[in-house]
Every structure is written in structure tokens, then in C-alpha cells.
Amino acid sequence: MKSTGIVRKVDELGRIVLPIELRRTLGIEEKDRIEIFVDGESIVLRKYQPACIFCDNAKDIINYKGRNICPDCIRAMNDKL
């Protein structure tokens, strides 16, 4: 993981501000969703991109009953029927 050298305080509501330089670099805009997860001792923030629940492909995703599925996996499931 690369260090940016940027330090921010957490406010009384637990919020931090992502610096504009990082938002521009990562293409994060106002109202974009951010995925938050823990990796060992680190908190990782990542721009959320929906992906297929089976193969993790993020191209041409179809949402079916609240689940994201790609066309390739749909084809594979149809072939098994």
C-alpha cells in the first residue's frame, strides 16, 4: 500500500474528509459510493463498483432480485439446465 503523507482528524461524528487530490486521482465524485473494509490492521476505502457475485466481473452487470450477475455467468447457468 502506498502512503500519501496526508493526515486527517476524525470529527466528533466519526467523519473524515477525503482530500480533493485523492478524489480527483481516483475519480471519486460527490454522491459516489465508497466501499469500506478491513485488511488486517488497516481500513481500506475503495470506490464501489458493483460486480458479479460469482466471478467478480464488473462489465454489463444485471441486477436480479438484489444480486449482481454478469451475462457470462447467466449463460453458464442456462447451459447447466
Residues 29 and 17 in one domain: yes
Together in a domain, 60 and 41? no
Asked if 3 and 39 sit in the same domain, the reply is yes
What pLDDT shows up at residue 50? 86
Task: Report d(CA 22, CA 37) in Å as an integer.
Answer: 18
Position 12 pLDDT exceeds 90: yes
CATH number at residue 12: 2.10.260.10
In a shared domain, residues 41 and 53: no
Residues of the domain holding 69: 49-81
pLDDT digits (tens, 9 = 90+) for 49-74: 889 999 999 899 999 888 899 999 99
Alpha carbon of 21 to those of 14, 26, 43, 66: distances in Å? 21, 9, 19, 34
Which sign does the torsion angle of CA 69, 72, 73, 74 carry?
positive
Long-range Cβ contacts of 70-73 (<8 Å, 24+ apart)? none
Q: Which residues of 65-74 are buried (b: 16+ CB within 10 A; e: fewer)?
A: eeebbbeebe
